[in-house]
Amino acid sequence: MKKEKILELENVTKYYSSELVFEKINLQVVEGEVICLMGKSGSGKSTLLRCLDRLELIDNGIIKFRGVDISNIPLVELRKKIGIVFQDYNLFEHLTVMENLTIGLIKIKKYTKKESQKQALEILQKIDLVDKKDKYPDELSGGQKQRVAIARTLLMNPDILLLDEPTSALDKEMKESVLNLVKKLVQEKRTLIIVSHEEEFLRKISKKIYKLHNHHLISVM
């Protein structure tokens, strides 16, 4: 069965004031695909991810989700469909791991506290962090924070998961734990768009690797 085209970028261009970030970006993402983006720091990789979630607005072109211009999709609905995990985790420091995981389910998906906690426990087992459920973010390592941040987004069950430099600033052991989680997501046939410098790892998990270079998106493989 032919898989559905889930995301399309057509001639997408972005400026900051008069400074060009990238131009005429064309990309198609099919359901279940893993797309990887590389490029030098400041090349616009993270900005491109943020444009897909409408955290940044584009200046020209169009981005479509399942054939619909994302500018015509209510923001709350769009962010249920396209989840983003930031490189600095963005966990709520005053909430425990369990509270960080359940807050979106309760407030956005309107789940009961009991059902939210049940789902959170299931995903904590998956990422081997059940013993950290009552800890606060400042009691976790960088790798643990990143896995919790990914788990929190996964609980919203988005159609596409955007990962922005998931292993940046992590030591080798912590990096390994996050990369293993990403491998599991690939095996589950999740639709992923990953910004990363881990070229060797990216080549193992994806056949579609692109580089942002001189404001353009170039296919690497």
Whole-number Å distance between alpha carbons of 129 and 141: 11
Q: What are the two backbone dihedrals, phi and then psi, of residue 80, each rounded to the nearest 5 degrees? A: -75, -30
Determine the residue type at 67.
Answer: G
What would the pLDDT profile of 46-95 be if each residue is shown by its tens digit?
999 999 999 999 999 999 999 999 999 999 899 899 999 988 888 999 99
Give the number of other CB atoms < 10 A from CB of residue 67. Answer: 9
What would the pLDDT profile of 105-158 be if each residue is shown by its tens digit?
998 888 999 999 999 999 999 888 999 999 999 999 888 998 899 999 999 999
Residue 156 buriedness (CB in 10 A; 0-12 / 13-18 / 19+) = middle
The CATH code that applies to domain 5-219 is: 3.40.50.300
Q: In Å, how far from its chain's centre is CA 121?
A: 21
Whole-number Å distance between alpha carbons of 9 and 204: 25
pTM above 0.75, yes or no: yes
Domain ranges of the chain: 5-219
